[in-house]
Amino acid sequence: MKGLLEIKDLKTYFYLDKQAVKAVDGVSFHINRNETLAIVGESGSGKSVTALSIMRLIETPGKIISGEIHFNNVNIAKLSSKQMTMLRGNRISMIYQDPMQSLNPAISVGEQIREALIIHKAVPRKESKKRALELMSLVSIPEAQHRYKDIQSKFSGGMRQRIMTAMAIACNPDLLIADEPTTALDVTIQSEIMDLLKSLKQQLSMSMLLITHDLGIVAENADRVIIMYCGKIMEEANVRDLFERPKHPYTIGLMKCIPRIQDNVDVLYSIPGYIPNASQYSEACRFHERCEKAMDICRQKEPELIEIEEGHKVRCWLYCNK
Amino acid sequence: MNNIIEVRNLVKQFELTSKLGLQTHCVKAVNGVSFDVPEGETLGLVGESGCGKTTTGKLILRLVKPTSGEIYLEGKDINKISKKEMRRIRKDIQVVFQNPYAALDPKMTVADILSEPLSIHRIVFKYDYDKEVKRLLNLVGLSEKDAKKFPHEFSGGQRQRIGIARAIATRPKFIICDEPVSALDVSVQSQILNLLNDLQKELKVSYLFIAHGLNVIRHMSDKVGVMYLGKIVEIGRVEDIFNNPMHPYTKVLLNSAPIPDPTIIRERQAIKGEVPSPITPPSGCSFHPRCNIAMEICKNKSPELIKINEGHKAACHFCSAE
């Protein structure tokens, strides 16, 4: 296996009204040690479901249909829920988009941080409080001593995200999954949290799976990038290649359609049409209806994800003959 | 050029009362805001959450009554006129809301949603409703067949188009766009931004464009006002604000937005702390606790908006001389 985490042909479907919604439909990728992999996609592209599948937090009506998730040479798709509980929050942990809704409103934040230590590391209670305070200062919460007993509603959004980060790194995990960690936050706070995650990643030598829709955050934080669309990987490349030589028409469109802060254009490029309904995917390429370069074959058959340069993979018929 | 909207020294205080009904605190959500919106132009308001940008929008709509200050719509003070007259004027000021999932009545068809403003303001004769609804749908890029559908049958971007169609139904002179794209996916955002720009050219309508994304503000605005804790700290033409920002807060905002280009490695200007609570705003210049050039005078004296050059003003003690 390659690296720390390797996913092979993961399929996670949701069964609604007897229809299968193919949220994640055959996704394969790997994350190396100390690497930040970003998954970029719009809503419904399956990026969060991929993360929740790795955490094994998919609940009915959703189900992991097939695929392997190798983490540290263990296929966690096959682990029992008890074994998974030992791993979750310990070796793999996750921070969520909305810190307002992810913390317990009734328990002090200090208690919440030390919970993981008591459960996973069997740290004695006295010791765990000391450790929780250290973690709070590690994520730069001022006056940690005084704020240990405060509940989450006494903190601002950015501070709550710091607390969630402290909880996630409490057991020194190998992999940190950050699902849109800054989307709910203001710009000035956003850059602080991203800087914090970056420095923590280095200090604790973690790998990071960063899920976002903001290409600016990707450019500044990721080593490699995966572009997802409708449950499939459309392009995979290291961050420089992706921004300098994007291949897939969807990636190119995404990059062209964000307004830039440095320069102004009269008319923005926009990708025509809308994201197709997840329960009605056809055999064709899932992007063909919105693609400017669509050919006949695109309407009939879905292309494979092929490697066109070292480390640069694309799922598009345009590159299939070369 | 005539100004459609003129706002002068607008103040809104919200009183916080304790459970016994005693007034305890007072939040100055909007604290002395003045600006003009000329005919056919867009004023962008940008700022972090809690800075009062949405309240400013609500005040102009007269959904919230101001504590003091004047709002002139084509020279008429909308707070001095009777309710009856206000109802007549409402057709000139419309609004597009942030969340298209919550802004449309789920039990009404699109045709109902769009004919309601037509009938209330008697825009066209009753037997012309169908024709007008079709015209509006075409104008916002939806098909005539969509008139019979319900909001849940549409995607987020399409719903926002319906919201826009409803806003332009009364042929307004002024539309308040309150974060119209922040709930939408990136590939759909640019469609909506282009649509708003096209409509402005076609209908000669003015916008107050409220957003927190600086790239979106840059793309949409002719003039930009930067708000911080209820005050405009800098206002000017879009080129002035983005190419020659004067206020330290504007500089920080511009500096914190991530740039989607991995080759640019920026020296990030660190900003201290978070937005203070508007209940207990800092003394003097409200930005001074976070400002890196703050001096003694900033703690004691609140700076006025000072003219830097034609149409460009900033409220900082240190940006007048240069």
Which chain A residues are closer than 8 Å to B185 by Cβ? 42-43, 213, 275
Q: What is the pLDDT of residue B72?
A: 94
Angle at CA B116, nearest 5°, toward B110 and B118? 110
How many other CB atoms are found less than 10 A from the CB of residue A306? 13
* Chain B interface, best mutation among A155, A258, A267, by max B CB count within 10 A: A258
**Six-digit token string for A67:** 């695929």
H or E stretch covering A210: strand A207-212
Q: What is the DSSP string of A237-286?
A: EEHHHHHHS--SHHHHHHHHHSPPSS---SS-----S-PPPTT---SS-T
Q: How far is A128 from chain B (nearest CA, A)?
A: 28
Q: How far is B48 from chain A (nearest CA, A)?
A: 6
How many other CB atoms are found less than 10 A from the CB of residue B224? 27
Taking CB atoms and an 8 Å limit, are A259 and B242 in contact across chains?
no
Which B residues 259-318 touch A at CB under 8 Å?
Answer: 259-264, 268, 271, 274-275
Q: What is the pLDDT of residues B194-241, one digit of tens each?
A: 999 999 999 999 999 999 888 899 999 999 999 999 999 999 999 999
> Angle of helix A125-138 relative to helix A109-121, nearest 10 degrees?
120
- Going by C-alpha positions, the residue among A21, A19, A63, A23 that lies closest to residue A43 is A23
Q: What is the pLDDT of residue B270?
A: 67
Top-confidence residue, A218 or B263: A218
CB-closest option in A158, A189, A275 to B155: A275
* Contact with chain A for residue B64, Cβ under 8 A: no
Top-confidence residue, B178 or A60: B178
Top-confidence residue, B268 or A102: A102
Which chain A residues are closer than 8 Å to B259 by Cβ? 216, 219-220, 261-262
Q: How far is A74 from chain B (nearest CA, A)?
A: 34
**Six-digit token string for B38:** 């000329």
pLDDT at residue B320 greater than cutoff 70:
no
Which chain B residues are closer than 8 Å to A275 by Cβ? 155, 185, 187
* Chain B interface, best mutation among A160, A161, A192, A268, by max B CB count within 10 A: A268
Residue B1 — pLDDT band, cuts 50, 70, 90? low
φ/ψ region of A40 (left if φ > 0, alpha if ψ in -120 to 50, else beta) reads beta
pLDDT at residue B22 greater than cutoff 90:
no
Which chain A residues are closer than 8 Å to B187 by Cβ? 42, 253-254, 257, 270-271, 275, 290
Whether residue B86 contacts residue B32, with contact meaning beta carbons closer than 8 Å, is answered with: no
* Contact with chain A for residue B13, Cβ under 8 A: no
Which chain A residues are closer than 8 Å to B260 by Cβ? 215-216, 218-219, 243, 255, 258, 260
Whether residue A257 contacts residue A271, with contact meaning beta carbons closer than 8 Å, is answered with: yes
Which residue of chain A has the CA closest to B192?
A: A270
| Gyration radius (Cα) of chain B, Å | 21
Taking CB atoms and an 8 Å limit, are A259 and B190 in contact across chains?
yes
* Contact with chain A for residue B157, Cβ under 8 A: yes
Tell me the whole-structure pTM to 2 decimals.
0.88
Q: What is the pLDDT of residue A16?
A: 85
| Best CATH choice for the domain B3-92+170-259+268-321 from the list 3.30.360.10, 3.30.70.1230, 3.40.50.300, 3.30.43.10 | 3.40.50.300
Residue B269 — pLDDT band, cuts 50, 70, 90? low
Q: What is the pLDDT of residue B222?
A: 94
Which chain A residues are closer than 8 Å to B188 by Cβ? 42, 270, 274
Cα dihedral across residues B65, B69, B72, B76: positive or negative: positive
Q: What is the pLDDT of residue B259?
A: 84
Domain boundaries, chain B: 3-92+170-259+268-321
CB-closest option in A158, A159, A191 to B268: A191
* Chain B interface, best mutation among A188, A239, A271, by max B CB count within 10 A: A188
Query: Which superfamily does A5-80+179-184+209-314 belong to?
Result: P-loop containing nucleotide triphosphate hydrolases (3.40.50.300)
Q: What is the pLDDT of residue A278?
A: 79
Taking CB atoms and an 8 Å limit, are B212 and A186 in contact across chains?
yes
Whether residue B223 contacts residue B43, with contact meaning beta carbons closer than 8 Å, is answered with: yes
Q: How far is A156 from chain B (nearest CA, A)?
A: 8
* Contact with chain A for residue B251, Cβ under 8 A: no
Question: Mind listing the pLDDT tens digit of every residue in chain A (322 residues)?
Answer: 578 999 999 999 999 887 888 999 999 999 999 999 999 988 888 999 999 999 999 988 899 999 999 999 999 999 999 999 999 999 999 998 888 888 999 999 999 999 989 999 888 988 999 999 999 999 988 888 889 999 988 888 888 999 999 999 999 999 999 999 988 888 888 888 999 999 999 999 999 999 998 898 999 999 999 999 999 999 999 999 999 999 999 999 999 888 888 777 788 888 888 888 877 888 899 999 999 899 999 999 999 999 999 999 999 999 987 5
Q: What is the pLDDT of residue B25?
A: 80
